[in-house]
Amino acid sequence: MTSPSVAVVIPFHNGSDWIERAIKSAVNQTRPSKEVIVVDDGSIEIESAKLAELKAKYSFEIFSQVNAGQSVARNLGVSIANSDFICFLDQDDYFLPNHIELLIGASNLEDEKFGFSYGDLLRVTESGETLSHSSLPSPHPLMDTQSMISQNMHILPSATLIKRTAFLDLGGFDESLQGYEDDDLFLRFHLAGFTINFTPEPVSAWTINRSSTSFSESMSRSRFLYFKKLLGMFRTDLAAGNTVFESALFPRFAYKFADDVIYSALNGGEHFKERAGRLKSFVEEVRKSKNMKPATRRNYLVATWPLVSLGPKPLGGFLAIALKMAPVLSSLKIDLLDEFLARHSPLKKSV
């Protein structure tokens, strides 16, 4: 094929502390892109002005939208782009100098079913200090459905090269998700039969921010939406779906929904009602599961009973007592209860 053209798409929302580093890394590539597109996702006026000032230093285009989230901003950028391939970049991450060159080199672009390629990432602090030379905790490349749905995939948009037409054919990022939208997209590439290529080389730097979104309400809500979406794909009223729930979805999400409720109870009860409702829905799926081992089901129902039965204040008091009595409660030999206590003792200390 002729030399492939690449567009870099960067969603921006009040990120002036990092955006220049991101843009600079995008325009200074060993294999230049055709276009760099920054989508301003409803930033406040002063932040938008700071972004606009950078146009005097770097060659890129700005397109603006009312604040609608990162997924919508990315999709808009792809719809505007006039290139064969897309490289996404989050505003607080940055490309290594040979990002595009490495990903194109790892891609079989002659394959009509090519969907995307991806690489590893450095993990860095906000100031750019390297924490780790790899961000992939599990074996890669991921090539089977089980491994893609039983864990976080750790394929970050900032480390990918995506065929634009394939992205559009799949409908882009799910705009209802503000978390898990990357796992959702790349799973759909796999299920649709697209080829996925991989390089073990780091191609980007992933910034670990102090303002983590792990316990944010948008992340909690998106986690539940993604779980329900997976349930729709692998129906639990079918034997195969039951197996998937027991072997993949339960291990992946069981603690997450409980963690959200516990965190809310220990932090003033914000969003408690919504999070307890999500956990109750998950518990019902556990009750209905036909293939789950009775002991696993019983342990989980016992461990989550206080979380779905008590209000935020009583639960907060219960958890405070439980954490103090952890050695005694551990003697009950309820595996999941032991796990909850072990996981949240550090959390309690930080509250």
**310 found inside a domain:** yes
In 3-state terms, what secondary structure has residue 235? coil
Q: Tell me which of 207, 226, 260 is where a domain ends.
A: 207
Confidence class for position 241, pLDDT limits 50, 70, 90: low
Q: 248 and 101, same structural domain? A: no
DSSP 8-state secondary structure symbol assigned to residue 97: T
In a domain, 264, yes or no: yes
Same domain, 136 and 38: yes
305 and 186 both lie in a single domain: no
pLDDT of res. 346: 42
Do both 91 and 143 map to the same domain? yes
> Are 192 and 233 within one domain?
no
Confidence (pTM): 0.88
221 and 193 housed in the same domain: no
Q: How far apart (Å, rounded) are the C-alpha atoms in residues 226 and 204? A: 26
* Structure confidence at residue 329 as a pLDDT band (50, 70, 90): very low
For residue 290, is it within any domain?
Answer: yes
Average pLDDT of span 147-168: 95
**So what's the pLDDT on residue 267?**
84
- Token pair belonging to 138: 């599990």
What radius of gyration, in Å, describes the C-alpha atoms of the chain? 22
Same domain? For 138 and 249 the reply is no
pLDDT beyond 80 at 330: no
**242: pLDDT confidence band, cut at 50, 70 and 90?**
low
Task: List pLDDT tens digits, range 170-217.
Answer: 999 999 999 999 999 999 999 999 999 999 999 999 998 766 565 689
Confidence class of residue 331 from pLDDT cuts 50, 70 and 90?
very low
Distance CA 122, CA 95 (A): 10
pLDDT of residue 137: 79
In this structure, the dihedral spanned by the alpha carbons of residues 144, 147, 153 and 159, taken in order and rounded to 10 degrees, is -30
CATH code of residue 133 = 3.90.550.10
Question: What distance in Å separates the CA atoms of residue 221 and residue 225, rounded to the nearest whole number?
Answer: 6
pLDDT-above-70 percentage for the chain: 87
Alpha carbon distance 75, 157 (integer Å): 12
pLDDT at 45: 97
Indicate whether 1 belongs to any domain.
no
335 pLDDT higher than 70:
no
Check residue 59 and give its pLDDT: 97
Share of the chain above pLDDT 90, in %: 64
Indicate if 97 and 155 belong to the same structural domain: yes
Whole domain around residue 330: which residue ranges?
Answer: 217-350
Q: Are 194 and 320 found together in one domain?
A: no
State how many domains the chain has: 2
Q: What pLDDT is recorded for position 130?
A: 85
Q: Based on the domain organization, do 191 and 298 belong to the same domain?
A: no
- Are residues 230 and 199 part of one domain? no
pLDDT in tens, 339-350: 555 555 444 333
pLDDT confidence of residue 341 = 53
Structure tokens at 157: 């948009």
Residue 212 in domain: no
**Which tens digits make up the pLDDT trace of 277-299?**
999 999 999 998 888 889 889 98
Mean pLDDT within 216-238: 88
Q: Are residues 186 and 224 both part of a single domain?
A: no
> Which of residues 184, 207, 230 is at a domain's end?
207
Among 143, 173, 207, identify where a domain stops. 207
Is the Cβ–Cβ distance between 195 and 115 less than 8 Å?
A: yes
Is 273 part of a structural domain of the chain? Answer: yes
Q: Is 247 a member of any domain?
A: yes
Q: What is the model's pLDDT at position 240? A: 60
